[in-house]
Amino acid sequence: MATSCLVCTGPVTQFLDLGRQPLSDAFPAPGDDLSREYFFRLALGQCSTCTMVQLLEVPPAERMFHQTYPYRSAGSAVMREHFARVAELLLDGRTDPFVVEIGSNDGTFLRTAAERGVRHLGVDPSGDAALEAAARGVRVRVDFFTEPLARHVLAEHGPADVVFSANTVSHDPNVNSILRGVAALLAPDGVFVFEDPYLGSVLANTAFDQIIDEHVLFFSARSVVGLLHRAGLELVDVERLPVHGGQIRFTAAHTGARPAAAAVDELLAEEDALGVHRMSRLREFAARTADRRRALVALLRRLRAEGARVVGYGATAKSATVANYCGLGPELVSAVIDATPAKQGRLTPGTHIPVLPPEAFGPGTADYALLFAWNHAEEIMAKERAFAEAGGRWVRYVPEVSVD
């Protein structure tokens, strides 16, 4: 099956189909009319022209990113520390900079700028998240970042020395408008820094749950080079990040404004050597994904037959993909534990598993915990040590199905 590329309009060939899926952050209440849930086909393809890996069907942005969008950056201590370090790094040595964040969420990144009195602006479509950012002293405009909006910000505030974004650029099918906006807003010597899931890590870890409605594009260094070029920008540095299961921090600038670091050519060469863009490699990933589903479902059915109680840990966006692709309902996973108040007392998207607060989890509450939030494993294991010490065991599915 082929369709048109979201980036360059070239032909896109499908290599993976994860079936009918709900919106990953739409948690219905128990009394809601569940027949009204929105579903779409979650399938992945690659453009043969620009190599961009992308969703073949993209739900409307307004359905995914809205007033009550529940994800919060501050929900993880690891991510709070991560964004504080990034802010310090980007602000270091700059005199009276203007910093803009695309997808500022609850202001976790911009809080450092606000506390220092640095001129800043966050742009995010979620009004509730913006209110939380404002409570942290962060200035936010509730909107989607587009080229027209960027030009409005430029006219009102002047050029940006730093434009930062985390887990947002890859979320928007209108990415070309975003990058044209960045190019218009960015000062001549400014930098655009964005962090997003890395295709190489997804393939290496068989992290099929990174494929969700919100992850529209899966970046590689090769595809990002072409993406930036179309907007008059140039990739000047890359850095691997351990957060969220494997990301790359891409740094871009106006074409010719800065020399490119050796790391860029090194990553491009590595991708070529590993065959990251070969269709055969992508189809191999799809086959491994099907294997993981069979192994996970077989394990959970065996545990149920043995009378064990299994709960999920982390009502993440990724968990929606796993649960719906594998058909995991309350009969196999009796509840999902999550610390986000907006999700508690609700049901998981599509599979309708009850979401409970952390107080419902601990020694003796379950025999096994299915680690949906595996990208926060170290933080979770330290927090829930008593569960394991009392005999509780953790079930993982990335990179392999296993029981710890």
* Domain spans, the chain: 73-279, 280-403
**The pTM is what?**
0.92
Mind listing the pLDDT tens digit for each residue in 176-198? 999 999 999 999 999 999 999 99
Mind listing the pLDDT tens digit for each residue in 330-340? 999 999 999 99
pLDDT of residue 248: 97
pLDDT of residue 192: 98
Q: Do domains 73-279 and 280-403 have the same CATH topology?
A: yes
Look at residue 71 and tell me whether its pLDDT is greater than 90.
no
Q: What does the alpha-carbon distance between residue 113 and residue 15 come to, in Å, rounded to a whole number?
A: 43
pLDDT of residue 298: 98
Mind listing the pLDDT tens digit for each residue in 225-238? 999 999 999 999 99
Q: What does the alpha-carbon distance between residue 357 and residue 337 come to, in Å, rounded to a whole number?
A: 6
> At the fourth CATH level, which superfamily is domain 73-279?
Vaccinia Virus protein VP39 (3.40.50.150)
Sign of CA dihedral 336, 338, 344, 348: negative
pLDDT of residue 223: 98
Quick one: pLDDT band at residue 260, thresholds 50, 70, 90? very high
pLDDT of residue 2: 56
Mind listing the pLDDT tens digit for each residue in 268-323? 999 999 999 999 999 999 999 999 999 999 999 999 999 999 999 999 999 999 99
Look at residue 262 and tell me whether its pLDDT is greater than 70.
yes
Mind listing the pLDDT tens digit for each residue in 92-138? 889 899 999 999 999 999 999 999 999 999 999 998 999 999 999 99
pLDDT of residue 62: 76
Look at residue 149 and tell me whether its pLDDT is greater than 80.
yes
Quick one: pLDDT band at residue 66, thresholds 50, 70, 90? low
pLDDT of residue 174: 94
Distances (CA, A) of 362 to 311, 333, 334, 384, 387: 11, 16, 15, 7, 5
Q: Which two tokens stand for residue 241?
A: 């990040």
Quick one: pLDDT band at residue 160, thresholds 50, 70, 90? very high
- Mean pLDDT of the 73-99 span: 88
Domain 280-403 top-level CATH class: alpha beta
